[in-house]
Amino acid sequence: MRAFTAAAVQIAPLPGPLTAASVAANCAKAVEWVERCVAATGAELVVLPESASTGFTPGVGPDELWDLVSGVPGPVTEPLQDVARRLGVHLVWGTYERGARRGTVHNSAVVIGPSGDVLGTYRKTHPFCTEMRSRGGWVEPGDEVVVVETDLGRLGVVICFDGDYPELARIQAVRGAEVIARPSALLRSADLWELTSRARAYDNHVFVVGANCTGTDPAGVLYFGNSLVVTPTAEVVARAASHECWVSARLDPERAMASLTPGSSVPHVFDHLADRNLDLLRRYADDLVRPAATSFPHAAPRPTDVVD
């Protein structure tokens, strides 16, 4: 990885019922924000929120959603590919994606390179319970981890609730990720957004660039922004309020693990990746892949409970 400036752009989707026109307008709005952000910050990587072409809760069923979006690449990514090419920057763009047949929709984050090409498409592997088509929602989970080699460094991607799952970020880090983008439309507290973003960064010594939605989606669900950038030693170096805005920070590999804590004279001598006890993990590998559930009583999800 080389030093570069990364930004998280946090924007609101258009309110009101989702239409082909509002999808196009959401894409156009994102393009405009990317242009302004890059002009102001010189960012070479810009991360946008989850499902930014539509808003998270589409207010329509999976068939109608499938009709409104497109495959990748396609109309839901082309305006972003254009702006990436025009500005010579990398983008991580959150959009619903048409799957193989009508009604199969993925919640995807598309990594676009400075050539405008799609370098990788990550499909959310941990949709929230109410988001899952199998549980009354509209999304089919993905089954692939994506880490993209770019000329900035190696870039991994998780989407919102995915960031609660330490195994996913770990797999990406083992596969070389140095920066993890987290496009989000998170619906818990800002405290939990910060906690999980910092934890994933520190667990794996990666930068996390978290772009969280703001405003209201087509179904009237409310978002809180507070996008952030976290370093490999868990320091929050950029943080938004709830306005439509961007935040940016310089990501410098030389300084990433220079000291135990920010600005300290005590060196950082350990490595959370290298210092894993692999013998232990091999011995208990089965536990990492077998079903389990909390014993603590909690509510059953209903389709109307939407929490990212």
Establish if 264 lies at the interface with its own copies (CB under 8 A): yes
Please state whether beta strands 179-184 and 154-157 pair in parallel, antiparallel, or not at all (unpaired).
parallel
Helix (H, G, I), strand (E, B) or coil at 87: helix
Cα–Cα dist 255/135, whole Å = 45
Q: What is the DSSP string of 39-75?
A: HHH--SEEE--TTTTT-SS-SS-HHHHHHHS--SSST
Residue type, 235: E
Taking residue 117's Cβ as centre, other Cβ atoms within 10 Å add up to 12
* Catalytic residue list contains 194: no
Establish if 37 lies at the interface with its own copies (CB under 8 A): yes
Site for its own copies in 283-302 (CB under 8 A): 283-285, 287-302
By CB under 8 A, how many residues form the interface with its own copies? 117
Q: Which two tokens stand for residue 248?
A: 């940016």
Binding segment (CB under 8 A) for its own copies, from list 46-54, 73-81, 102-110, 162-170? 162-170
Compute the least distance from the CB of residue 78 to its own copies, in Å.
26
Cα–Cα dist 224/171, whole Å = 29
Establish if 198 lies at the interface with its own copies (CB under 8 A): yes
Sorted by sequence, the CB contacts under 8 Å of residue 224 that are 6+ apart come out as: 186, 190, 193, 212, 214, 242
Q: Which of 131, 160, 178, 213 is catalytic?
A: 160
Binder among 56, 93, 96, 224 for its own copies (CB under 8 A): 224
Binding segment (CB under 8 A) for its own copies, from list 50-58, 65-73, 77-85, 251-259? 251-259
Read off φ and ψ for residue 307, nearest 5 degrees.
-135, 85
Exposed, middle or buried, 64 (CB in 10 Å: 0-12/13-18/19+)? middle
Site for its own copies in 58-97 (CB under 8 A): none
Binding segment (CB under 8 A) for its own copies, from list 64-72, 91-99, 114-122, 281-289? 281-289
* Catalytic residue list contains 29: no
Binder among 196, 209, 210, 217 for its own copies (CB under 8 A): 196
Compute the least distance from the CB of residue 118 to its own copies, in Å.
21
* Catalytic residue list contains 144: no
Site for its own copies in 96-155 (CB under 8 A): 125-126, 128-130, 141, 143-145
Establish if 244 lies at the interface with its own copies (CB under 8 A): yes
Return the active site residues. Answer: 50, 124, 160
